[in-house]
Amino acid sequence: MSVQWKGVMPAVTTKFDANDNLDLDMFKVNLKAQLDAGVSGIILGGTLGEASTLTKDEKSTLVKETVAFVNGKVPTIINIAEQTTKDAISAAHAAEKDGAHGLMLLPPMRYKADDRETVTYFKEIAKNTSLPIMLYNNPIDYGIMITLDMLEELTECENIQAVKESTRDISNVTRMKTRFGDRYSVLTGVDTLGLESILMGADGWVAGLVCAFPKETVAIYKLGQAGRIEEARAIYSWFLPILELDVSTKLVQNIKLAEVKTNIGTENVRAPRLPLIGAERENVLAILDAGLKNRPTLPDYLSL
């Protein structure tokens, strides 16, 4: 299956049971909600997926189970976040073997590679896999900026096809589109810039709160793409206080609590993370309860 780098692609959470094992039953409940809402792909093992806590076997299981469950409806993409080039290539090979359709690729972890080292890292992985790749540009959280000049060097790698743009600088969408045209698809990775990025030409949205509110997220994207801006903006304005839960060090706990409120997830996280408690939890619940009380009626966005 080829990957069309556009539309809403949820960076899904990883579901755990009370014994800290993968909860594949609840995971599939959430996957079904995503598919029913009209998402364009499933991204596994990102920040929201608690990737740094997952074993290789767990990642393999998630890929295989997702590929089987979605059954060709949308592509399955796995994130690679490794410390060494060797391990990243090994992860790419494992993803191919397990049936993944694409990769989301972060720069090297821990070591703050310079531009030359980062470009070489990406090139080495790209030439060692046939899978299409979306680079993840998130210097705020991961310390390395993928610059336009670096992207210029990477144009020779045909399977590097997209960029998840998470710099928080919305002008970067325009910069990339102006310099590279359609060479790279650009997907926003910041929930609180979702609609703004779409209106500025982003091809898609790698979303977080979509995990709990899949229909609303896809509706905003579809309406924005169709030029029905006021309708998209009305839903987005309602959604924004909830979307701000994604821009937080506790985004995993926040979004898992949101999934509980919409009946498509649990609060179980993997230590050292712990579920929210006290005033912090009550604040998130207040935001979610207010949103759910005024949840908008959506138009028939799937027909757009």
CATH label of the domain that carries residue 200: 3.20.20.70
* The pLDDT of residue 1 is above 90: no
What share of the chain has pLDDT > 90, as a percent? 97
CB atoms within 10 A of CB 230: 7
For 180-189, what is the mean pLDDT?
98
What share of the chain has pLDDT > 70, as a percent? 100
Six token digits for residue 58: 């767990």
In a domain, 111, yes or no: yes
> What is the dihedral sign for C-alpha 241, 48, 300, 303?
positive
The pLDDT value given to residue 7 = 98
Band of pLDDT at residue 150, cut at 50, 70 and 90? very high
Q: Check: CB of residue 93 under 8 Å from CB of residue 129.
A: yes
Give the domain extent around 206.
7-229
In a domain, 177, yes or no: yes
For helices 56-70 and 24-37, the axis angle rounded to 10 degrees is: 40
Question: Can you name the residues that pair with 138 across neighbouring β-strands?
Answer: none
CA dist 295 to 90, 147, 151, 238, Å?
A: 44, 39, 40, 8
For 245-271, what is the mean pLDDT?
97
Q: Tokens 């579809």 — which residue?
A: 222
In a domain, 72, yes or no: yes
Q: Which of 6, 62, 75 minimizes the C-alpha distance to 35?
A: 75
* The pLDDT of residue 110 is above 90: no
* The pLDDT of residue 26 is above 90: yes
The pLDDT value given to residue 105 = 98
* 3-state SS class at 11: strand
DSSP 161: E
In a domain, 172, yes or no: yes
In a domain, 241, yes or no: no
* The pLDDT of residue 77 is above 90: yes
Question: Can you name the residues that pair with 102 across neighbouring β-strands?
Answer: 77
The count of domains in the chain is: 1
In a domain, 1, yes or no: no
Q: Tens digit of pLDDT for each residue in 216-234? A: 999 999 999 999 999 999 9
In a domain, 182, yes or no: yes
* 3-state SS class at 164: strand
For 96-122, what is the mean pLDDT?
96
The pLDDT value given to residue 141 = 85
In a domain, 34, yes or no: yes
Report the mean per-residue pLDDT for the chain: 97
Q: Which of 84, 13, 16 minimizes the C-alpha distance to 42?
A: 13
